[in-house]
A and B are shown apart, each in its own frame.
Chain A
């Protein structure tokens, strides 16, 4: 495996606000952006700046990765953790973490966040969703009325 070629023992991640996190290589395995960077290095330690991720968010992502990388934790414990992890987040946090997941190229974490956001907007109104994503409609009122009529039943 690519990760084993590297001799790195400790990785220092530097968030956008300058906060510093020291982690072991197995924690960053899922962060493909970080992984591709360290694969090419032959040294014991490395510092990686992550200018698009804020400290609070990075702390949460690392917490998530630690739990999921752990071999001692049962599947049930991980599911319980995931549930609590999402529960304590606000909508904005989820959207920021989704973008961070995309930037760090973390496939399964990205899916996890996308699913959590989907759960918030499932069965919600168009207005709620526009507000959630801060989207202005670019349909004319006539166009929108037409679209709503097309699938009238979906609005009940």
Chain B
């Protein structure tokens, strides 16, 4: 028997909570367009609950930021899993509607200020779909000037009310002593905060120790505030070649750095670290602006030959390191701040990754999705998709074409842009 139910029970009225569920799966561009469907849709889309719900869904599909010659593009990690040989048009930046179209007339006013210097702005980090951009310029009178923008590439909104930060460098040699930055969200007060920090040598002691200066800018405030100094010095401060592998990472209202105890001087080298106990994670709570030190996994018991790395993967703090020049080990802190919750997620024999033996291994795990992981060798910037179960390796080949279809950048050879890739998720989040 067949029941003619189509007209008996038509979907005439879909309640708002179901509309919200549907819309939360859409791209930001489509959502902004659908704001003018009706008044109730407009209200629903503008509501903070919807913005949060959309962000939660979008966070399951993270992108990595890729610096092009004329701007940035964002590529979903998932695309790399589906097809490790992908091609990007360099003008994707201008054409792809989810990216900032700087040639769009309606946007020119917004970008006028930043447009001529766009290449000077580097991505510090991204949080909830917002990207913190920073530029450093030489200012005759004041040493260095740092300028900032917070940019939501999906909604194309730029927030510029972040004060400049100045750094006086008496000698040109001291320029590397300038500030480093981190970006995070304080979920207690629901404010975004930018952290600036630098370390200088403190010669007053018998042994030279680092003395840090840490400043915070809360969005909505008008100035930078000094906060407590670091109890230990972040590893990325030390002028090491691969220090950027250990940039600050933000997670649930905290900013975290891999740090080293008994720091000596600016030209400290990795080989001076002799005990595994010297490594610690320093965590800044963005609401109280105080520090905590987190211990590393108990199973991590030998100083590896190359720097270990912390990252946020699958919403958890992860710690990875080399083991005896033969394996790559990754730990996950299942419950943030709980040392007992460190769990070894995997261990990969370098041979399985089929990486070129001529190079050293400075591995960083960029992404984990089920059995598939994306691993970068920071030494030669080769990245692979590796399947933990069937041990299949696929080399990532990312080509960037220009308008004439000529390859301008190949990411399967030495190019450090991949190394500087940051996580980014599309969102409707705004700051005001």
Contact = CB atoms under 8 A, between A and B. Distances in A.
Interface in B1-47: 1-3, 5-6, 8-12, 14-15, 17-19, 21-27, 29-30, 32-39, 41-42
Interface of A, secondary structure class, is: helix
Interface stretch (A5-13, A32-40, A143-151): A143-151
Contact of A54 (B3, B15, B29): B3
A110 B1 CA distance: 27
Contact of A57 (B5, B34, B156): B5
Interface in A131-156: 133-139, 144, 147-148, 151-156
Interface string A67-86: 00000000000000000000
B25 A114 contact: yes
- Which range contains the number of B residues in contact with the other chain? 35 or more
Contact of A126 (B23, B26, B34): B34
Interface stretch (B99-107, B216-224, B340-348): B99-107
A16 B4 CA distance: 12
A146 to B, nearest CB: 9
A118 B22 contact: yes
B11 A95 contact: yes
A43 interface: no
Interface string A93-116: 001101100100000001100110
- Which range contains the number of A residues in contact with the other chain? 35 or more
A25 interface: no
A17 B33 contact: no
Given A92-B11, A122-B30, A130-B37, A147 B97 contact: no
Nearest to B106: A152
B5 A54 contact: yes
B18 A114 contact: yes
Nearest to A130: B37
10 contacts: A54-B8, A92-B10, A98-B22, A110-B18, A114-B18, A123-B27, A123-B30, A129-B34, A147-B35, A153-B107
Interface of B: 1-3, 5-6, 8-12, 14-15, 17-19, 21-27, 29-30, 32-39, 41-42, 97, 101, 104, 106-107, 156
Given A16-B9, A96-B11, A124-B30, 16 more contacts: A54-B5, A57-B5, A98-B11, A102-B17, A118-B22, A118-B23, A118-B24, A118-B25, A123-B29, A126-B33, A134-B11, A135-B37, A139-B39, A153-B101, A153-B107, A155-B33
The 7 closest A-B pairs by CB, nearest first: A118-B25, A95-B11, A114-B21, A54-B5, A147-B36, A154-B32, A151-B32
Interface of A: 16-17, 19, 54-57, 92, 95-96, 98-99, 102, 110-111, 114-115, 117-119, 121-126, 129-130, 133-139, 144, 147-148, 151-156
